[in-house]
């Protein structure tokens, strides 16, 4: 029983949290437009309405002086929005909310063109329908009007300009008919006006009621068979018309519109919305307990007045739970109607929902209180009358206060236990993810100016708004990158991986420490990591202008790549960064995934090499790594693909492909090219051999580039793409040669590197084609460029890639 008790309070706490979050959004929404109150689920502005159906736009009126609300889904001016009335009796149906709109009238022979103007109201596919409180009104001599598109009914009326032969019987029956539809409401069924023939009863104006069947398409037309001339109007309205205001068709035509009442209900695919209201389901309410509760409350409400004079006061049945609203909810159709329950008032759909009515502060119709001389005690959904002995009240208050303390104690205890569990879980993750080893490493590098920071999960959750989907920069097969802001104001990129290889955690920690010590302007800085989560989270500096692939292949609408000067500078930046990794870092580091999507551009469009998820450092006495093949099709070194031995020259080959991308503007893999030229490397080498370099230069730079520099750069790329790794230059040599090309403005003497055995290269050419057709069953981890094949969901950043954070490899 205690578990059920605690579970109920957990539900209440969740509901409170839902309404707090809803309040943060709804509280900033306009509540009025043009003097019309806008109530939820309707709203003005994005995020202020439940669904698109209920969007209200605040537009300038035709007079151009004031703002008026329009129901966006049907583009009709709104006159009033009403919520469903209180649910009174179990035998009565739930009421519906209403929206009153302005709708054009149908006219004939009233304008100079003499044409008939027919009005049609089509609400198909929306949660709105024409209320049966509307009435068809027709005015003019010999005017026959009818409703069209009304299913299973024929509705119409005819007005004439002759005196009718009314009799007392006819007058009485007219009153009875009106009362049967509208009840004893003097606004609709004024007996005096009916008896005196001042209502629209067929003389100069006539009226007809809506059919019982709910309609969503209703039109009004005037019978074309009428031969009598003159102005004739007909319209649908929820207002009452008499001879005084409904018999002059010209005046009605000048008004141009009538007010029509639309009923509405909730139509949403968000099932949690209706469930979060915590209302009775109508079938639950009409069950035994619900029926008993409703009838008992009704009984007490009716007899309390006369029992008061006998000094007898019934003690209300104290229900354990009284919900504030009742809903008729069809989960299959996603429809719902909700009303406040007896004893409550307000908006069942809005923040706070229906509020309790304090009957003790309200007066009866005769001005007396509900309990007379006795004490009225208000409860949630009902009230009680007790004599002036306050002992029961004191006992009730004391019990309630004690219960509140008990519940509060349980809640605080659960909160403390939950907090302790989270702390223990964070400690477990920290230890499992190598936190102790990382702390050791940090202690040994404590003398350095910059070192890896170990972030707490709370810091990163705050920086990324709890890893909100609105903060996503990019997504890949193995992780997601979020944009975040640290407490010191720094903007960072937070990479959260999806998988972890626990066998490689020690290697991961070593790599984090090594990469964090890299300090080069053309390399994205690793700021730190978080080890308190299920998988380690990496924190990088944020680079604002996306990646090279996006700019180079027209995914950004700018002219950044329109000059050769910018492209050459980017190539030099990349070469310098890779040269630093291979030669100048404390331990040589092989990137292993150099490609255009991993080249970021900062605010000055300077290149920064990023994504070291597959990078590995080697000791100075080693020349290569033996690993399971991992890389990106189109950029992968064919020699590495065959031997599984990754060297610094493998990075050189990948850089060569990026260099050719800068020259040609082509993608590394393109199925638009022929089979033999599908890879950019093969396509470029063939063009160089056939002396067709000028033909493949990107058209955006071809006319204005320095052809000597482009030719020299192409020869450097040709060297980098040599199928024999030992014949490729080092990244230091490539960086120096590109720098010399940039400094040279005249003719340059280039020492073209020609393969000593062209036939041997032709023989090995098929290796590149084999990489494209590699099968997943061959235990080779190869990926296509993420941005090229839409693997990355948000192309604004390439920091999230498809390679695993801890790929399976062996040294």
Catalytic residues, by residue number, are 593
Question: Quick one: tokens of 3?
Answer: 């578990």
d(CA 193, CA 352): 44
Handedness of CA 386, 392, 394, 395 (dihedral sign): negative
Q: Is the separation of the CB atoms in 591 and 651 below 8 Å? A: yes
DSSP 614-670: T-EE--TT---EE---EEETTTS-HHHHHH-EE-HHHHHHHHHHHHHHHHH---SB-
Residue 190, classified by CB atoms within 10 Å of its CB into exposed (0-12), middle (13-18) or buried (19+), is middle
Q: How far apart are CA 608 and CA 544, in angstroms?
A: 11
3-state SS, residue 720:
helix
- Find, among 77, 39, 32, the residue nearest to 59 by Cα: 77
Instruction: Please state, in angstroms and rounded to a whole number, the distance separating the CA atoms of residues 383 and 261.
Output: 36
Write out the DSSP string of 533-592.
SSS-EEEEE--TT-BHHHHHTTSS-S-TTSSHHHHHHHHHHHHHHHHIIIIISSS-EE-S
Taking CA atoms, 266 is separated from 31, 53, 271, 333, in Å, by: 20, 9, 11, 11
Q: Is the N-terminal amide bond of 811 cis, ω within 30° of 0?
A: no
CA distance 201 to 190: 13
- Buried-exposed string 194-228: b where 16+ CB fall within 10 A, e elsewhere: beebebbbbbbbbbbbbbeeebbebbbbbbeebee
Q: What does the alpha-carbon distance between residue 429 and residue 637 come to, in Å, rounded to a whole number?
A: 37
- Distance (Å, whole) CA 342 – CA 302: 13
- Quick one: which of 154, 157, 253 has its CA closest to 204? 157
Counting Cα atoms < 13 Å in the Cβ hemisphere of 134 gives 32
Residue with the two structure tokens 């299959």: 332
The rounded distance, in Å, linking the Cα atoms of 811 and 807 is 12
Cα→Cα distances 274→249, 282, 322, 638, Å? 46, 13, 17, 59
Cα–Cα distance between 211 and 621 in angstroms, integer? 93
The answer to whether 337 and 279 have CB atoms below 8 angstroms apart is no
Q: How far is the C-alpha of 42 from the C-alpha of 349, rounded, in Å?
A: 10
**Sequence-separated (6 or more) residues with CB below 8 Å from residue 22:** 351
The pairs formed by 78-84 with CB atoms below 8 angstroms and a separation of 24 or more are 78/36, 79/36, 79/259, 80/36, 81/36, 81/37, 81/38, 81/39, 81/42, 83/39, 83/347, 83/348, 83/349, 84/337, 84/338, 84/339, 84/340, 84/348
Q: Strand 143-148 and strand 257-264: pairing?
A: unpaired
CA angle 151, 157, 160 (to 5 degrees): 165
Are the C-beta atoms of 800 and 482 separated by less than 8 Å?
Answer: no
Backbone φ and ψ for 221, nearest 5 degrees, come out as -135, 155
Interatomic CA distance for residues 70 and 42, integer angstroms: 11
- Enter the tokens of residue 95: 């009421």
**184 burial level (CB within 10 Å; 0-12, 13-18, 19+):** exposed
């Amino acid at each position: 029983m205690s578990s059920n008790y605690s579970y109920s309070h957990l539900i209440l706490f969740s509901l409170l949290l839902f309404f707090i979050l809803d309040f943060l959004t709804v509280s900033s929404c306009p509540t009025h437009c043009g003097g019309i109150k806008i109530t939820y689920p309707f709203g003005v502005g994005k995020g202020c309405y439940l669904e698109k159906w209920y969007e209200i736009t605040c537009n300038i009126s035709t007079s151009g002086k004031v703002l008026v609300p329009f129901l966006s889904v049907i583009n009709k001016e709104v006159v009033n929005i009403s919520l469903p009335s209180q649910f009174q009796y179990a035998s009565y149906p739930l009421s519906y909310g209403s929206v009153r709109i302005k709708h054009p009238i149908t006219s004939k022979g009233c304008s100079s063109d003499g044409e008939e103007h027919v009005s049609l109201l089509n609400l198909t596919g929306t949660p709105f329908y024409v209320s049966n409180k509307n009435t068809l009104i027709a005015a003019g001599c010999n005017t026959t009007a009818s409703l069209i598109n009304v299913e299973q009914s024929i509705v119409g009326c005819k007005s004439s300009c002759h005196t009718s032969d009314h009799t007392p019987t006819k007058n009485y029956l007219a009153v009875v008919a009106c009362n049967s539809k509208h009840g004893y409401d003097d606004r609709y069924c004024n007996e005096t006006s009916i008896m005196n023939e001042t209502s629209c009863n067929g003389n100069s104006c006539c009226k007809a009621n809506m059919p019982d069947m709910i309609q969503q398409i209703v039109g009004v037309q005037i019978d074309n068979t009428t031969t009598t001339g003159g102005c004739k109007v007909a319209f649908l309205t929820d207002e009452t018309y008499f001879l005084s205001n409904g018999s002059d068709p010209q005046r009605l035509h000048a008004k141009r519109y009538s007010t029509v009442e639309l009923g509405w209900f909730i139509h949403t695919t968000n099932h949690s919305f209706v469930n979060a209201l915590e209302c009775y389901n109508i079938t639950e309410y009409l069950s035994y307990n619900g029926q008993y509760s409703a009838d008992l409350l009704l009984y007490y409400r009716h007899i309390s007045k006369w029992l008061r004079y006998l000094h007898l006061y019934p003690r209300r049945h104290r229900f354990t739970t009284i919900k504030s609203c009742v809903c008729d909810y069809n989960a299959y159709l996603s429809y719902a109607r909700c009303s406040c329950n007896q004893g409550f008032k307000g908006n069942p759909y809005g923040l706070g929902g229906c509020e309790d009515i304090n009957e003790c502060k309200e007066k009866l119709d005769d001005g007396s209180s509900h309990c007379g001389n006795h004490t009225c005690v208000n409860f949630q959904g009902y009230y009680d009358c007790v004599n002036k002995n306050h002992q029961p009240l004191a006992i009730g208050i004391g019990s309630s206060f004690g219960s509140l303390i008990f519940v509060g104690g349980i809640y605080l205890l659960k909160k403390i236990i939950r907090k302790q569990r989270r702390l223990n879980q964070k400690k477990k993750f920290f230890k499992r993810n190598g936190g102790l080893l990382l702390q050791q490493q940090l202690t040994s590098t404590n003398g350095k100016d910059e070192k890896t920071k170990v972030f707490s999960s709370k810091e990163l959750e705050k920086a990324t708004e709890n890893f909100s989907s609105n903060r996503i920069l990019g997504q890949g097969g193995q992780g997601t990158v979020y944009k975040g802001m640290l407490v010191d104001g720094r903007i960072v990129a937070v990479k959260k991986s999806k998988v972890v290889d626990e066998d490689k955690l020690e290697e991961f920690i070593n790599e984090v420490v090594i990469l964090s010590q890299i300090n080069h302007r053309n390399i994205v800085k690793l700021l730190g990591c978080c080890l308190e989560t299920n998988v380690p989270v990496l924190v990088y500096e944020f680079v604002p202008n996306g990646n090279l692939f996006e700019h180079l292949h027209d995914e950004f609408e700018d002219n950044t790549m329109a000059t050769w000067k910018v492209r050459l500078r980017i190539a030099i930046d990349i070469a310098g960064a890779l040269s630093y990794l291979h030669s100048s870092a404390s331990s040589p580091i092989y990137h292993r995934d150099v490609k255009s999507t991993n080249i970021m551009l900062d605010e000055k469009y300077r290149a920064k090499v990023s994504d070291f998820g597959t990078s590995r450092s080697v000791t100075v006495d080693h020349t290569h790594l033996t690993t399971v093949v991992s890389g990106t099709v189109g950029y992968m070194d064919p020699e590495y693909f065959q031997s599984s031995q990754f060297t610094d020259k493998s990075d050189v080959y990948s850089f060569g492909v990026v260099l050719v991308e800068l020259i040609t503007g082509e993608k590394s893999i393109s199925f638009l090219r022929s089979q033999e030229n599908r890879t950019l490397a093969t396509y470029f080498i063939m063009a160089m051999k056939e002396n067709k370099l000028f033909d493949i230069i990107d058209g955006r730079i071809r006319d204005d580039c320095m052809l000597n520099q482009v030719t020299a750069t192409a020869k450097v790329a040709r060297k980098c793409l040599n199928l024999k790794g030992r014949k490729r230059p080092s990244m230091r040599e490539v960086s120096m040669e590109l720098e010399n090309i940039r400094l040279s403005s005249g003719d340059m003497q280039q020492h073209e590197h020609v393969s000593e055995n062209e036939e041997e290269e032709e023989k090995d050419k098929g290796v590149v084609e084999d990489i494209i057709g590699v099968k997943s069953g061959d235990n080779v981890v190869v990926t296509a460029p993420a941005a090229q094949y839409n693997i990355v969901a948000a192309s604004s950043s390439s920091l999230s890639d498809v390679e695993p954070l801890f790929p399976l490899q062996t040294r």
